[in-house]
Structure formats: C-alpha cells, structure tokens
Amino acid sequence: NVYWYGNRYVSQEEVLISPEDRGYYFGDGAYEVFRFYSGRLYETDAHLKRLWHTAAGLRLTLPFTEAELTSRLEELVRRSGAADGNVYLQITRGAAPRAHPFPKGAEPVVMAYASSVDRPLAAMETGIRAVAVEDIRWLRCDYKTLNLLPNVMAKQEALDRGADEAVLHRDGTVTECSASNLMIVKDGTVRTHPANRFILHGVTRAVVLRLARAAEIPVLEQPFTLDELASADEIFITGTTVEVTPVVALNGQAVGSGKPGPVTRRLQQQFAATLP
Ligand code: PDD
C-alpha cells in the first residue's frame, strides 16, 4: 500500500510514528474509513462532514482543508491502482511526553492509505449471524475516535460465540453493531436507532434511509428493544465495508424465515444502483 504521511506518498516502512504519539498512548485521535468503487470515492462529502464533526468534538485542529484532503484521498486511490477498496485515514493529536492535558505545540499526525477490498458479495447474498452484546461504550458514539476497545471486545465476543457481528444494546435498547449500524423491518416499516450520541451516524445508514424514503418504504428512527429485535421480520446491517448485509440468525435463532427478507433485498438492489 501507498501511504500518505508527512505530506508525502511513501511506503509503509517510511511511516515513522513516534512511541509518544497520543494515538498510541490515549487513542487520542479521529479516523474515517472511505469506500471507493471503480476508482471513485463514494459519499465523500458525508465522510468529510463526519470527520469535521469528530474533530470539533475532540477539539482537534485538522491540518488540511476539505478540498486538500479530498485531492489527497483521490491521489491515494489512483496510486493504489485498485478498482474497489477502502481508504483508511487517521489523525492523532500528535507526539508528546505522556500527560493527559492537550500538549502545547504538538502537530497533528496524519496517516492514510488505500487498499483493494472486494465488495462482500457472499455475506450480502447469504446473510450473517449476530448475537446481542452489552454496549459498554462512552456517551459520544457519534465521534469516530480511535478508542475502539469496546467495539473490539464486542466483535471478538460475537466471534467466540460463533457469530459474525455483535448487536449492541444499552439496558435492552438496541443501538448499533460493533462496526456497522443496524436496522429492522417490522410489518413493512424500516426502523433504526435515531442518529444521536449513542450511535455513529453511518454514511451508509443515511444512504439507505434516503433510498427507503424515496421508495416510499415507511421509516421510523426510533429506539427499539432486544425483544422487538427478536420479533423483527427482517434485520440487516449497514456500513462502508458491509454495505447492506442481511442478518439471518440472532442469538442462534432464525430471523423471520431464516433467509434474507424482501425489504432487505429491495434496499440492497437500490443501494447497488447508487454505486459508480
Ligand atoms: N465502521 N457504527 C460503527 C460503530 C462503525 O464503526 C461503523 C463503521 C458504522 C457504519 O458507518 P458507515 O456507514 O459510515 O461506514 C456504524 C468502519 C467501517 C470501521 O471502523 O471499520
């Protein structure tokens, strides 16, 4: 992979991150995962908007403008030579001796790379298994920060329990998944947790809700419980890396018919039609 680091395009060996980087010490930084299809970045503006939201929340001054960042990302995609893939971008508060206060005079450290990643067509076709896991994250899940330990723990617990993804819940209220948003379909209505501080405001979530509304599928952005999740007709997850993926088993029980449902299929088709 080609990296963007220190305002140059370099190989991985030339990315020299200090052991005193605050990302390493504190997870003190922001990140984004962008998707590109046929060499073209997808929903760039929505990702940029979220990155600036995260940076403002972390009081992190981004060392580039939106236009500068976009051209860097486009250049990374070009240099990767890949058609379909992801761009990973992270910005930390910089390197300084370990102390909690924001360091004076430290410069943000930026690192990004593009890699080739195929669309998850098999999972999208057959669906995945999910299990419920307690959401033990902090109260600003709308910031895409490097502090992903609760997400990592939840994902691993899901895998250890023979599933593919963890559905997170706070006291029985479903929020989202470890690395994706979650939607249910009940009696023809698509329902998902509102975009507040308890979830990441997924770029794919927004695309799918827009598509559902355009198709006159009723949409409800309202919290729901684990019981409502268990009695849903359909469940699916959304995300940059998973697109629209059906959940066909929950806690070892079949969801609906145990096969991807009709509303999920329709939204998958409509999502695919938005890709370049
Ligand atoms: N994760 N919720 C969480 C907790 C996420 O980490 C992600 C994305 C999403 C989906 O958001 P979007 O549609 O904007 O990708 C929801 C990225 C891909 C990751 O951490 O790898």
49 is catalytic: no
pLDDT tier, 8 (very low <50, low <70, confident <90, very high otherwise):
very high
The domains found in the chain, sorted by start residue, are 3-118 (3.30.470.10), 122-273 (3.20.10.10)
DSSP the chain: --EEETTEEE-GGG----TTBHHHHH--EEEEEEEEETTEEESHHHHHHHHHHHHHHHT---SS-HHHHHHHHHHHHHHH--SSEEEEEEEE--B-SS-SSPPSSPPPEEEEEEEE----HHHHHH-EEEEEEE----S-TTS-BS--HHHHHHHHHHHHTT-SEEEEEETTEEEEESSSEEEEEETTEEEE--SSTTS---HHHHHHHHHHHHTT--EEE---BHHHHHT-SEEEEEETTTEEEEEEEETTEE-TTSS--HHHHHHHHHHHHT--
- Supply the angle between the helices 66-80 and 44-58 in degrees, to the nearest 10: 120
Q: What is the pLDDT of residue 126?
A: 98
Q: In testing the pocket of ligand 1, which one of 178, 181, 207 has its CB within 8 Å of the most ligand atoms?
A: 181
Q: What is the pLDDT of residue 4?
A: 98
pTM for this predicted structure: 0.98
CA 164 – CA 159 distance, rounded (Å): 6
Mean pLDDT in the chain?
Answer: 98
Catalytic residue among 49, 104, 144, 259: 144
CA of 254 from ligand 1 middle (Å) equals 25
Q: Whose CA is nearest to atom 5 of ligand 1?
A: 179
48-63, pLDDT tens digit by residue?
999 999 999 999 999 9
Instruction: Determine phi and psi for 55, rounding to 5 degrees.
Output: -60, -40
Q: What percent of the chain has pLDDT over 90?
A: 100
Q: What is the pLDDT of residue 79?
A: 97
Q: Is the ipTM of this complex over 0.90?
A: yes
pLDDT tier, 9 (very low <50, low <70, confident <90, very high otherwise):
very high
Q: Which of 223, 241, 206 lies closest to 53 in space, CA to CA?
A: 206
Burial class (CB in 10 A: 0-12, 13-18, 19+), 138: exposed
Residue 48 near residue 66 (C-beta atoms within 8 A): yes
For residue 84, the cross-strand partners are none
Which residues does ligand 1 sit against, CB inside 6 Å?
Answer: 33, 151, 176, 179-181, 200, 202-205, 238-241
184-232, pLDDT tens digit by residue?
999 999 999 999 999 999 999 999 999 999 999 999 999 999 999 999 9
* Ligand 1 atom index nearest CA of 206: 13
Residue 31 near residue 145 (C-beta atoms within 8 A): yes
126-180, pLDDT tens digit by residue?
999 999 999 999 999 999 999 999 999 999 999 999 999 999 999 999 999 999 9
pLDDT tier, 255 (very low <50, low <70, confident <90, very high otherwise):
very high
* Ligand 1 atom index nearest CA of 205: 13
CA 64 – CA 266 distance, rounded (Å): 39
67-112, pLDDT tens digit by residue?
999 999 999 999 999 999 999 999 999 999 999 999 999 999 999 9
